Amino acid sequence: MKELMIGNAAVARGLYEAGVQVVSSYPGTPSTEITEFSATYDEVYCEWAPNEKVAMEAAFGASLQGVRSACCMKHVGLNVAADPLFTLSYTGVTGGLVVCVADDPGMHSSQNEQDSRHYAVAAKVPMLEPADSQECKDFAKLAFEISEQFDTPCMLRMCTRIAHAQSVVELEERVVPEKKPYVKNPQKFIMAPANAIARHPFVEERTEKLRAYAETAPVNRVEMGGTDIGIITSGTCYQYCKEVFGDSVSILKLGMLNPLPVEKIREFAGKVGKLYVVEELDGVIESHCRSIGVDVIGKERFSALGEFSQKSIAEAFGMEPKETVTADTQVPVRPPVMCSGCPHRGLYYVLAKNKLTVLGDIGCYTLGMAPPLCALDSTLCMGASISGLHGFNKASGGETENKTVCVIGDSTFMHSGMTGLANVAYNGSNSTVIILDNSITGMTGHQQNPTTGYNIKGDPATKINLEALCHALGIERVRVVDPYDLEGTEKAVLEELAVEAPSVIISRRPCVLLKYVKPKAPVAVNKDKCRSCKRCMKLGCPSIHMDADGKAGIDNTLCVGCGVCEQLCPFGAIEHTEATMAELPPAQSVAQ
């Protein structure tokens, strides 16, 4: 049967057909759907782990148990999981273990543009890269075979244009290999120095065996065409090159990115005139070619920045751009924004109003950086808000403690905020930490996490109590506010900033996009009362605009009646059409 599938769904299908038993992951664009689709197969145990390190370690445990396992993450998630990865390379596996990692060239939804291939090289593990959905499925299966044949975790590298592009896939049946018995093997699995020293030569020998495999592996494919130009490429870049050149050039398509073949490349180089390496991000293949004495044209011609396309490659080869028509008037940009009724908005308004310095984190709430709120000062990586705030306050000698806060989401707090908070308590900075608890992992498209009370299948699960957790981490002052209540939120923030103790404020209200959150009647502007002061415009709510008459207007198709703007208006011009604030459920109960 043939089906149109996005690359991520095809990877999930490949894992399934290969008989995967355990998939543990943390969501991250563009990798998230691999795990979501895996969870649709009842035969596969699937979970959202609190972070990528935990996920990879869970996959390790499953492999140790003797079954096939996988973990999936975005490129920056691999940084978090790097610790187990490097030593997993030494232990190797029992059941096959596949690490799926999705890069994001062009940074559609990421904080950097790092190239995961460096990890495969550094950790000395094999890496495959598919170029369409069919290969996503085929390579996921091949990754398990390589993993077991060579006793190694095997990486599967995706990128946005493969992960989120649909193409046709031929489906096959699931075949589950027999579970291997668990046998205690300290020399292989206890990586204490004596054993690790003995194991390192195995890793080096394995790399050479894998390189020999790469020399003849069918996934490293030569497509001979015209021989004036030869191109070495992989993944989505292969598709762009084929689009531009068809069969007029010769192509060495690498399906295996680590280790790279030597003889195969030399042989190909010998058959063509000018040799180019076309690869997005860093010149990894190019450096390899140079190191084996093959001269290529690479990054001096093709950028290390952003995504490629058939257009950028044609231009790099000096071809004329295609004819187009554009309007002369500039189209205003349309950046992503926090939704109407987003619970983060009220909190951010309070922070901006008080001109606080705000160390931020990774999630929907990073959008608080945008005008008009401009509420954020920094965003580094998952968890850095809390640990960064601690360092910021320590370095100022405590002077910044009463005018600086940090914000971190519920899922991000579980991912890597807890250790930062332990540091605040243990090493004693009077930091004020705000946990934005919207009861879901928002930005990646609503995944459950340990604080939501549900697992990946939507079944009830242990719900970790954030208040109790913060207390247990050594923070005595923990309070909960409703970010729709501006006065109460401001009071809490100012009180906790003033107090000589570390504190946590949990700003709690579920994401408005959650199905169980029912929108309230939209608010409306009483035009007689509006004095055009534009204070409501300071919220940056997509539902509020200034009408042609100079007075505020509310888009009643977008407004969900959160009532935040109503509290801001000094003239009482914004009125609830039906419900009032008194009818809103109390903050404590909404996250159930």
Partner 1 sequence: METKGIVICGVGGQGSLLASKLLGRVLVNEGYDIKVSEVHGMSQRGGSVITYVRYGDKVYSPVVQSGEAEFVISFERIEAARYAHLLKKGGIIITNTQRVDPMPVITGAAQYPEEILGELTAKGVQVEAIDALTLAQEAGSAKAVNIVLMGQLARHFHIDYDKWIAALEQTVKPKFVELNKKAFRLGYESGK
Quick one: which of 1, 178, 300, 326 contacts partner 1 (CB under 8 A)? 326
Asked whether position 334 contacts partner 1 by CB under 8 A, the answer is: yes
- Nearest Cα neighbor of 84 from 33, 38, 119, 126 is 119
Amino acid at 514: L
Neighbouring C-beta atoms of residue 516, cutoff 10 Å: 8
Shortest Å, Cβ 530 to partner 1 = 16
Asked whether position 75 contacts partner 1 by CB under 8 A, the answer is: no
Quick one: which of 54, 99, 338, 434 contacts partner 1 (CB under 8 A)? 338
Shortest Å, Cβ 248 to partner 1 = 13
Could you tell me which stretch among 64-72, 494-502, 544-552, 579-587 binds partner 1 (CB under 8 A)? 544-552
- Nearest Cα neighbor of 359 from 393, 396, 382, 386 is 386
**Contact assessment for residue 486 and residue 415, using Cβ atoms and an 8 Å cutoff:** no
Quick one: which of 372, 398, 550, 572 contacts partner 1 (CB under 8 A)? 372
Q: x-or-dash pattern for partner 1, window 90-129, by CB under 8 A?
A: ------------------xx--------------------
H, E, C per residue of 460-510: ECCCCCHHHHHHHCCCCEEEEECCCCHHHHHHHHHHHHHCCCCEEEEEECC
Could you tell me which stretch among 138-146, 176-184, 192-200, 332-340 binds partner 1 (CB under 8 A)? 332-340
Q: x-or-dash pattern for partner 1, window 293-312, by CB under 8 A?
A: ----------------xxx-
* Separation of alpha carbons 47 and 56, rounded Å: 12
Four-residue CA torsion sign, 323, 328, 329, 332:
positive
Asked whether position 328 contacts partner 1 by CB under 8 A, the answer is: yes
Task: Report, in angstroms and rounded to the nearest whole number, the Rg of the chain calculated over CA atoms.
Answer: 27
Strands across the sheet containing 503-508:
357-359, 404-409, 432-437, 503-508, 477-481
Could you tell me which stretch among 121-129, 221-229, 235-243, 464-472 binds partner 1 (CB under 8 A)? 235-243
Could you tell me which stretch among 201-209, 221-229, 388-396, 537-545 binds partner 1 (CB under 8 A)? 537-545
Asked whether position 243 contacts partner 1 by CB under 8 A, the answer is: yes
**Contact assessment for residue 552 and residue 544, using Cβ atoms and an 8 Å cutoff:** yes
Asked whether position 324 contacts partner 1 by CB under 8 A, the answer is: yes
**Contact assessment for residue 488 and residue 420, using Cβ atoms and an 8 Å cutoff:** no
- Nearest Cα neighbor of 539 from 488, 486, 494 is 486
Cβ neighbours of residue 470 closer than 8 Å, sequence gap 6 or more: 421, 435, 478, 504, 506
Nearer to partner 1, 6 or 71 (CB): 6
**Contact assessment for residue 72 and residue 7, using Cβ atoms and an 8 Å cutoff:** no
**Contact assessment for residue 576 and residue 523, using Cβ atoms and an 8 Å cutoff:** yes
Shortest Å, Cβ 483 to partner 1 = 17
Shortest Å, Cβ 219 to partner 1 = 18
Neighbouring C-beta atoms of residue 159, cutoff 10 Å: 27
Asked whether position 557 contacts partner 1 by CB under 8 A, the answer is: yes
**Contact assessment for residue 114 and residue 84, using Cβ atoms and an 8 Å cutoff:** no
Nearer to partner 1, 309 or 567 (CB): 309
Asked whether position 515 contacts partner 1 by CB under 8 A, the answer is: no
Could you tell me which stretch among 135-143, 248-256, 257-265, 536-544 binds partner 1 (CB under 8 A)? 536-544
Shortest Å, Cβ 385 to partner 1 = 18
Neighbouring C-beta atoms of residue 332, cutoff 10 Å: 6
3-class DSSP assignment, residue 592? coil
3-class DSSP assignment, residue 297? strand
Quick one: which of 116, 236, 412, 438 contacts partner 1 (CB under 8 A)? 236
Could you tell me which stretch among 24-32, 151-159, 254-262, 425-433 binds partner 1 (CB under 8 A)? 24-32
Cβ neighbours of residue 162 closer than 8 Å, sequence gap 6 or more: 7, 130, 131, 132, 133, 136, 235, 236
C-alpha dihedral (433, 437, 441, 446), degrees to nearest 10: -160
**Contact assessment for residue 387 and residue 393, using Cβ atoms and an 8 Å cutoff:** no
**Contact assessment for residue 275 and residue 295, using Cβ atoms and an 8 Å cutoff:** yes
Asked whether position 167 contacts partner 1 by CB under 8 A, the answer is: yes
Shortest Å, Cβ 528 to partner 1 = 23
Shortest Å, Cβ 402 to partner 1 = 30
Asked whether position 240 contacts partner 1 by CB under 8 A, the answer is: yes
Quick one: which of 61, 83, 145, 168 contacts partner 1 (CB under 8 A)? 168
Asked whether position 537 contacts partner 1 by CB under 8 A, the answer is: yes
Quick one: which of 121, 149, 151, 164 contacts partner 1 (CB under 8 A)? 164
Could you tell me which stretch among 191-199, 279-287, 336-344, 457-465 binds partner 1 (CB under 8 A)? 336-344
Residue owning tokens 């109407």: 340
Give the tokens for residue 326. 């554009």
State the burial class of residue 399 (Cβ atoms within 10 Å of its Cβ: 0-12, 13-18, 19+): exposed
Asked whether position 462 contacts partner 1 by CB under 8 A, the answer is: no
Nearer to partner 1, 222 or 558 (CB): 558
Quick one: which of 58, 72, 155, 339 contacts partner 1 (CB under 8 A)? 339
Nearer to partner 1, 192 or 333 (CB): 333
Asked whether position 242 contacts partner 1 by CB under 8 A, the answer is: yes
Asked whether position 337 contacts partner 1 by CB under 8 A, the answer is: yes
- Nearest Cα neighbor of 276 from 306, 305, 318, 307 is 318
Could you tell me which stretch among 91-99, 145-153, 366-374, 425-433 binds partner 1 (CB under 8 A)? 366-374
Asked whether position 239 contacts partner 1 by CB under 8 A, the answer is: yes
Nearer to partner 1, 328 or 487 (CB): 328
Cβ neighbours of residue 325 closer than 8 Å, sequence gap 6 or more: none
- Nearest Cα neighbor of 162 from 139, 131, 140 is 131
Q: x-or-dash pattern for partner 1, window 412-451, by CB under 8 A?
A: -------------------------------xxx------
Nearer to partner 1, 309 or 402 (CB): 309
Asked whether position 403 contacts partner 1 by CB under 8 A, the answer is: no
Q: Which residues bind partner 1 (CB under 8 A)?
A: 4, 6, 29-30, 32-33, 108-109, 132, 160-161, 164-168, 236, 239-240, 242-243, 309-311, 321-339, 364, 367, 370-372, 443-445, 537, 540, 542, 544-546, 557
